[in-house]
């Protein structure tokens, strides 16, 4: 079973990595995702190598080097998929320094010892307890640091979805990436605990468990990663100037903004007038960036005006127009034969469930109840 897992995993991760690399249009995040899949392929390749040469020992110095390369990749993917950058920052290469350091440690000991084969070299590392501890703790710290950084950036992004998008989609939620990072944390920490306590009933099957879990992650990353949209959201936190004893509020959020009150009023009037006459809300993938390009209002000012002057986020603001359109269509004699799905799409909703959920939230009734009222 394990042999099947590692061969399927190697083939699929190589194939998926190549497909993502050739994806058009290509983004920096796609290239990082491709590198991520190729690194996972190298983990399967290491197991194939062990199986082919019947190596019974755990080549942990090599596997740790590969894993230390993997950790910064899921952080870099999180960073570059959320915001579209013109080029890859060379400073981000320093994130791979732990893997490079471990590589040179292994290389140094290989050329400065009498052990010149993998088995004896691994035994040599096992005999140096302090070195093993340093490399082992480096692995654990790397795993947690990059996982926490990745989760932090994803959570910050998800808090801004309703201020950026007028629709719901798994292509913008990054739930799959969140799941991959959490599952990776659980899997590796479980393996570390099993190894630390020498639970014999599990150790015999640990390689099978690791290969199966890794294969599952490859499928999730390749399928969901390939269909993932390139996002472009500025997730820099808004600076707050809150007075002592006051709570965070829409007015407190933008105290450092350069937007003047009369200018905000002009933007609000222009925004509402444009919405009433353009029917741009019928675009079922409308974003604040699209609305900004159509109105000429900077997108951060659109968000500010909506929050401060209208007390709504972008998602609610747009979908209220869609619901009002749907209400008119439902009551219209010319559209009595239309299904609710057809009305939903005509009104700008991108799914039946999104239509039903928001309609009930906004009107207190289901579309059927409203039609029969």
Per-residue pLDDT tens listing for the chain (373 residues)? 667 888 899 999 999 999 999 998 889 999 999 999 999 999 899 888 877 766 555 566 777 888 889 899 999 999 999 998 999 999 999 999 888 887 787 677 656 656 556 666 666 666 667 777 777 888 889 999 999 999 999 999 999 999 999 999 988 999 999 999 999 999 888 877 776 665 555 555 677 788 888 899 999 999 999 999 899 888 755 444 443 333 444 555 555 566 788 888 999 999 999 999 999 999 999 999 999 999 999 998 999 999 988 899 999 999 999 999 999 999 999 999 999 999 999 999 999 999 999 999 999 999 999 999 8
Q: How many CB atoms lie within 10 A of CB 258?
A: 7
Quote the CA–CA distance of 292 and 310 in Å, as a whole number. Answer: 17
List, in sequence order, the alpha helices (H) in 228-313. Answer: 250-253, 261-278, 288-295, 299-305
- For residue 60, the model assigns a pLDDT of 67
Domain topology for 2-227: Rhopdopsin 7-helix transmembrane proteins (1.20.1070)
Cβ partners under 8 Å of residue 144, min gap 6: 185
- The three-state secondary structure class of 165 is strand
Cβ partners under 8 Å of residue 203, min gap 6: 194, 195
85 Ramachandran zone, left/alpha/beta (phi>0; psi -120 to 50): beta
No. of helices (H) and no. of strands (E), the chain? 18, 0
What pTM value is reported for the model?
A: 0.84
CA atoms within 13 A on the CB side of 118: 14
- For residue 246, the model assigns a pLDDT of 37
Strand intervals (E) in the chain: none
165 backbone dihedrals φ, ψ, rounded to 5°: -120, 145
Are the beta carbons of 192 and 184 closer than 8 angstroms? no
- For residue 187, the model assigns a pLDDT of 87
CA dihedral 54, 57, 59, 61 (to 10 degrees): -160
Q: How many CB atoms lie within 10 A of CB 68?
A: 23
Quote the CA–CA distance of 186 and 182 in Å, as a whole number. Answer: 6
- For residue 174, the model assigns a pLDDT of 95
What does the buried/exposed string (b/e) look like for 128-150 if buried means 16 or more CB atoms within 10 Å of the residue's CB? eeeeeeebeebbeebbeebbebb
CA atoms within 13 A on the CB side of 11: 6
- For residue 40, the model assigns a pLDDT of 93
The yes/no answer on whether domain 252-372 falls in CATH 1.10.10.60 is yes
* DSSP 8-state code for residue 307: I
List, in sequence order, the alpha helices (H) in 128-260. Answer: 129-158, 170-173, 175-197, 200-203, 206-227, 250-253
Q: How far is CA 238 from the centre of its chain?
A: 21
Residue 217, both tokens: 């992650």
Residue 88, both tokens: 């890859």
> Angle 327-329-332 (CA atoms, 0-180°, nearest 5)?
110
- The three-state secondary structure class of 232 is coil
Domain coordinates of the chain in residue numbers? 2-227, 252-372
- For residue 326, the model assigns a pLDDT of 96
Residue 367, both tokens: 């579309």
> Angle 227-173-298 (CA atoms, 0-180°, nearest 5)?
105
């Amino acid at each position: 079973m394990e042999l099947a897992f590692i061969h399927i995993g190697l083939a699929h991760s190589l194939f998926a990595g190549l497909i993502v690399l050739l994806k058009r249009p290509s983004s920096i995040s796609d290239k990082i995702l491709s590198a991520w899949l190729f690194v996972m392929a190298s983990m399967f390749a290491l197991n194939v190598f062990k199986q082919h040469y019947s190596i019974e020992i755990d080549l942990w110095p090599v596997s740790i080097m590969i894993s230390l390369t993997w950790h910064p990749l899921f952080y870099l993917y999180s960073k570059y998929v959320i915001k579209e950058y013109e080029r890859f920052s060379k400073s981000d290469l320093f994130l791979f320094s732990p893997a490079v350091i471990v590589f040179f440690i292994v290389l140094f000991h290989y050329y400065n010892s009498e052990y010149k084969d993998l088995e004896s070299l691994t035994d040599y590392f096992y005999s140096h307890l302090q070195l093993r501890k340093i490399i082992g703790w480096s692995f654990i710290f790397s795993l947690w640091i990059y996982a926490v950084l990745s989760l932090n950036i994803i959570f910050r992004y998800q808090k801004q979805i309703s201020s950026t998008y007028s629709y719901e989609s798994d292509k913008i939620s990054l739930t799959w990436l969140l799941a991959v990072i959490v599952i990776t944390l659980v899997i590796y920490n479980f393996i570390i605990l099993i190894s630390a306590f020498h639970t014999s009933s599990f150790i015999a099957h640990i390689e099978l468990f690791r290969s199966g879990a890794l294969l599952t992650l490859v499928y999730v990353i390749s399928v969901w990663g390939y269909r993932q949209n390139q996002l472009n959201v500025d997730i820099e936190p808004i600076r707050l100037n809150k007075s002592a004893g006051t709570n965070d509020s829409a007015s407190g959020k933008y105290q450092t903004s350069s937007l003047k009150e009369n200018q905000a009023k002009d933007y609000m009037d222009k925004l509402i007038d444009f919405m009433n006459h353009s029917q741009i809300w019928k675009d079922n993938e409308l974003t604040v960036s699209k609305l900004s390009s159509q109105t000429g209002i900077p997108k951060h000012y659109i968000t500010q005006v909506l929050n401060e002057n209208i007390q709504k986020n972008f998602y609610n603001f747009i979908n209220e127009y869609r619901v009002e359109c749907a209400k008119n269509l439902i009551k219209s004699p010319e559209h009595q034969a239309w299904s609710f799905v057809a009305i939903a799409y005509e009104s700008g909703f991108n799914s039946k469930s999104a239509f039903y959920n928001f309609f009930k939230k906004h009107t207190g009734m289901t579309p059927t109840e409203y039609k029969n009222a």
